[in-house]
Amino acid sequence: MAAGKFSFTGSGEILVRSGGRTLAAAGDVIVIGDRVFPLAEVDRVAYDAAARPRQASYALGLACGPVRSRFVFDAFGREELAHARETWRQLVELVESAACPRIARAAVDAIAAGATARFGGGGRWRIDADAEGLRRWRWFAPKVPWAGVLGSDLRAGQVRVWTGGPEPELVTAMAGWNAVVLPRVVGMMVAQEKESPENRE
């Protein structure tokens, strides 16, 4: 069953079948169903995983302008779980290397130009970033200035922003659009803040 659900080739191609749909990855292109996503052009990404004993679920989302698609696949049992984990590792590495750095750089450039970059889903799960700092997307939410941000990481399905306390200051789900890109953006913005003339004096 696993061999038919997950396929690999020596040239690095990946093929996953789930729920009557197919995801295929070759080079820097991922095809979900009939939608083709060159990773050099996508402007939004999302991925998430949930694992339990003898069961796991994985999701990958890609978008370019108005075209977007999400692909979900599950795995059960030891052999299929092993195939699923390897498939997931390769897909995440591909997206992280071919798409996320460019998307993060574009977000930082947009922030520098005075725009607001958005990360995560809608409502309370969204985090907005601008030249002054980060804030939850809700009325009267306080802004966390870049000078107070120490870093950001991914853990247990969440994207976390740290300011020095025992708990993260901001949290959003990895499954939201471009949420997984936020740690890269935070890293670049914090580095810029440290290099600013005010902090050099």
Give the domain CATH number at 184: 2.30.29.30
Task: Tell me what pLDDT residue 1 has.
Answer: 36
Number of domains in the chain: 2
Joined tokens for residue 36: 């083709």
Joined tokens for residue 12: 């690095």
Residue 101: how many CB atoms within 10 A of its CB? 12
Say yes or no: 20 and 70 in one domain. Answer: yes
Q: If you average pLDDT over residues 48-65, what whole number do you get?
A: 93
Among the candidates 32, 66, 98, a domain finishes at: 98
Among the candidates 70, 98, 126, a domain finishes at: 98
pTM above 0.75, yes or no: yes
Joined tokens for residue 197: 């003339």
Q: If you average pLDDT over residues 51-68, what whole number do you get?
A: 94
- Residue 128 pLDDT level (bands cut at 50, 70, 90): very high
What domain range includes position 187?
115-200
Joined tokens for residue 188: 């670049």
- pLDDT higher than threshold 90 for residue 147: yes
Among the candidates 33, 67, 98, a domain finishes at: 98
- pLDDT higher than threshold 60 for residue 127: yes
Q: If you average pLDDT over residues 111-119, what whole number do you get?
A: 97
The percent of residues above 70 in pLDDT, for the chain, comes to 92
Say yes or no: 41 and 94 in one domain. Answer: yes
Residue 194 class from Cβ within 10 Å (0-12 exposed, 13-18 middle, 19+ buried)?
A: exposed
Q: If you average pLDDT over residues 56-69, what whole number do you get?
A: 97
CATH number for 74: 2.30.29
